[in-house]
């Protein structure tokens, strides 16, 4: 039994018992992806262990959400190897929590926060309660709502919750099945600064205290910088992974993007990346990175 998540120790299959204890939860080896006949990124090497927090960074349109889709098995890798919990992507999605890129709830939406969280449990059987599961499910929903600090407003219609409250409830939805991997696509987008740091700290706690491997797509690295173990910077055609200190430097990003990029550190420790190319062109003009 995991003392923090309450995840029961799973009877491991014989094949898994022989696995190295340090077997990565997520692994990409020389991975590449193609959409619409175009290679978005390639040469991605990344290993994520349990309890590690990794950010996927890069300009708009570079293929960050597409990387999440590859990890979910929605889209195949065009080259290389991808493994999720030792399996092909998509094989073990019930052990993966996923928060898609931001969608807004209509202010008039009457469904309660609690019900939104519960959808994370009901995904398999479309809200038809399974006999004998009602109480256990209610307790699990209450537990995870408490974990994300949403108890005070989870009974309200979600359309009447603030952006930060909605995002906490959606994180609870992604967590309700006690995933071992959490894939979060720009979860801090559209939150104000205090909410960005609060939600970043919450995700950092879930990751480091509960041993969940977190892969978070982010537009701005600053709110999560102090919680991160590793970053992957994607560029048109290339990618570089490593610790933030290794990757987020003028030298590394200049090499990756093939154009002068300057990384400045402000007096309060924030990183400012200047000169990073914007959305890669979709009609020619490709330049080799690196
Ligand atoms: N199924 C698809 N077919 C064709 N192009 C796609 C498909 N999915 C995404 N794209 C394109 O791939 C690029 C990367 O998209 P995305 O992964 O959403 O970028 P990011 O999340 O980094 O902003 C974009 O140019 C997008 O238009
Ligand atoms: Mg995206």
Q: Which one of the ligands is nearest to 280 CA?
A: 1
Compute the Cα dihedral for 17, 19, 24, 27 and give only its sign: negative
Please report whether residue 113 resides in a domain: yes
Which candidate, 79, 51, 56, places its Cα nearest to that of 68? 56
* 135 pLDDT tier (thresholds 50, 70, 90): confident
The boundaries of the domain holding residue 89 are 23-274
Ligand 1 pocket, residue 37 CB under 6 Å:
no
Please report whether residue 6 resides in a domain: no
Ligand 1 pocket, residue 62 CB under 6 Å:
yes
* 226 pLDDT tier (thresholds 50, 70, 90): very high
Model confidence at 14: pLDDT above 90: no
Please report whether residue 133 resides in a domain: yes
Ligand 1 pocket, residue 65 CB under 6 Å:
yes
Distance, first Cα to last Cα, the chain: 46
Cα–Cα distance for residue pair 253/230, rounded to 1 Å: 15
- Domain count for the chain: 1
* pLDDT, mean of residues 80-86: 97
Compute the Cα dihedral for 105, 109, 113, 114 and give only its sign: negative
Ligand 1 pocket, residue 76 CB under 6 Å:
no
Model confidence at 163: pLDDT above 80: yes
Please report whether residue 10 resides in a domain: no
Residue 29: strand, helix, or coil: strand
Please report whether residue 2 resides in a domain: no
Model confidence at 13: pLDDT above 50: no
Ligand 1 pocket, residue 40 CB under 6 Å:
yes
Please report whether residue 15 resides in a domain: no
Taking CA atoms only, the protein residue closest to ligand 1 atom 8 is 35
Nearest 5°: phi and psi at 242?
Answer: 165, -170
CATH number, domain containing residue 153 = 3.40.50.300
CA 5 to centroid of ligand 2, rounded, Å: 29
**Angle value at C-alpha 233, between 283 and 180, nearest 5 degrees:** 120
Please report whether residue 285 resides in a domain: no
Q: Is 255 exposed, middle or buried (0-12, 13-18, 19+ CB in 10 A)?
A: middle
Q: Which residues contact 69 (CB under 8 A, 6 or more apart)?
A: 75
Structure tokens of 99?
A: 């928060």
* pLDDT, mean of residues 232-237: 89
CA 110 to centroid of ligand 1, rounded, Å: 32
Model confidence at 144: pLDDT above 60: yes
Please report whether residue 289 resides in a domain: no
* pLDDT, mean of residues 28-41: 94
């Amino acid at each position: 039994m995991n003392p923090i998540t309450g995840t029961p120790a799973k009877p491991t299959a014989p094949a898994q018992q022989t696995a190295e204890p340090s077997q990565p939860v997520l692994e990409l080896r020389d991975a590449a992806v193609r959409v619409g006949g175009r290679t978005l990124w390639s040469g991605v090497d990344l290993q994520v262990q349990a309890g590690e927090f990794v950010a996927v960074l890069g300009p708009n349109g570079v293929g960050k959400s597409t990387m999440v889709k590859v990890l979910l098995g929605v889209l195949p890798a065009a080259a290389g190897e991808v493994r999720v919990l030792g399996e092909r992507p998509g094989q073990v999605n019930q052990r993966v929590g996923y928060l898609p890129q931001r969608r807004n709830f209509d202010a008039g939406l009457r469904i309660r926060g609690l019900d939104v969280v519960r959808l994370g449990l009901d995904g398999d059987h479309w809200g038809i309660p399974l006999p004998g599961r009602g109480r256990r499910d209610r307790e699990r929903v209450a537990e995870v709502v408490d974990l994300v600090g949403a108890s005070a407003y989870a009974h309200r219609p979600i359309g009447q919750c603030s952006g930060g409250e909605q995002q906490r409830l959606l994180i609870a939805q992604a967590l309700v099945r006690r995933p071992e991997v959490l894939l979060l696509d720009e979860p801090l987008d559209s939150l104000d600064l205090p909410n960005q740091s609060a939600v970043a700290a919450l995700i950092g706690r879930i990751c480091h205290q509960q041993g969940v491997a977190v892969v978070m797509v982010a537009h701005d690295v600053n709110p999560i910088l102090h919680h991160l173990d590793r970053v992957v910077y994607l560029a048109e055609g290339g990618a570089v992974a490593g610790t933030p200190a290794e990757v987020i430097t003028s030298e590394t990003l200049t090499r990756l993007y093939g154009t002068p990029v300057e990384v400045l550190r402000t007096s309060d420790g924030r990183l400012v990346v200047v000169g990073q190319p914007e959305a890669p062109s979709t009609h020619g003009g490709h330049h080799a990175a690196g």
